[in-house]
Amino acid sequence: MHSNRAISGLLSLQPSGHAGYVDTDIKQVKAYILHDHQTKCPMLYDSGLFFVLQGAKKGFAAGQTFATSAQRYLLLSNAYPIECETLASPSEPIVGLFISLDKEEVARQIRIMGRDDEATQLTPMNLQVINSIKNTHKLAELIEQLALSLIDPSQAKIIGPSLIT
């Protein structure tokens, strides 16, 4: 679903010997890179959107099970402790992007998804703290553009913010 250029570009942002979240030139966007399988362990996710370009994660929280991959992204409505398993290997690391959102932006995203026929519809009755939502082709293209813009610091500063607002 995502190009090798975007994935290798994000991998190039990772400092040697560092695993996990990597800051980018866009304040609210972090790359997530892990080269090894990580068994189920406790984590704390903040409010935001989590997109995977390569690899997958499984999570468990408050009786809820969720998954994220190139086909599904996460909408996290509140900071919440979860247990997560990362499916990655040295030959195929997990590569993703986390976009932090304030509560107003989370509410806006929920309203958009409630009207969007292509996405899983979210209503107050089925909205959970962590929502695994089917990725659309259009959204995947935007995430690809965002990933590619992060490779070049000037592009990230010029183009990146317009891709996340």
Would the pLDDT of 125 be above 70?
A: no
Q: Is residue 165 part of a domain?
A: no
* Residue 116 lies in domain: 4-153
Task: Give the pLDDT confidence of 46-63 residue by residue, as tens digits.
Answer: 888 999 999 999 998 878
Whichever domain contains 29, its CATH number is: 2.60.120
3-state helix, strand, coil in the chain (%, to 5): 30, 40, 35
Q: Is residue 21 part of a domain?
A: yes
Q: Is residue 94 part of a domain?
A: yes
Helix or strand run (H / E) with residue 8: helix 4-12
Q: Is residue 63 part of a domain?
A: yes
Q: Is residue 71 part of a domain?
A: yes
Task: Give the pLDDT confidence of 10-30 residue by residue, as tens digits.
Answer: 999 999 888 899 999 998 999
The encoded tokens of residue 29 equal 């966007």
pTM, two decimals, is 0.84
Q: Is residue 141 part of a domain?
A: yes
Instruction: Give the residue among 77, 73, 69, 80 at the shortest CA–CA distance from 110.
Output: 77
Q: What percent of the chain has pLDDT over 70?
A: 84
Burial of 95 (0-12, 13-18, 19+ CB in 10 A): buried
Q: Is residue 90 part of a domain?
A: yes
Q: Is residue 102 part of a domain?
A: yes
Alpha carbons within 13 A on the beta-carbon side of 68: 25
Burial of 86 (0-12, 13-18, 19+ CB in 10 A): buried
State the pLDDT at residue 115: 58
Averaged pLDDT score across all residues of the chain: 84
Beta strands 94-100 and 29-34 are antiparallel
Would the pLDDT of 150 be above 80?
A: yes
* Number of domains present in the structure of the chain: 1
The rounded distance, in Å, linking the Cα atoms of 153 and 27 is 12
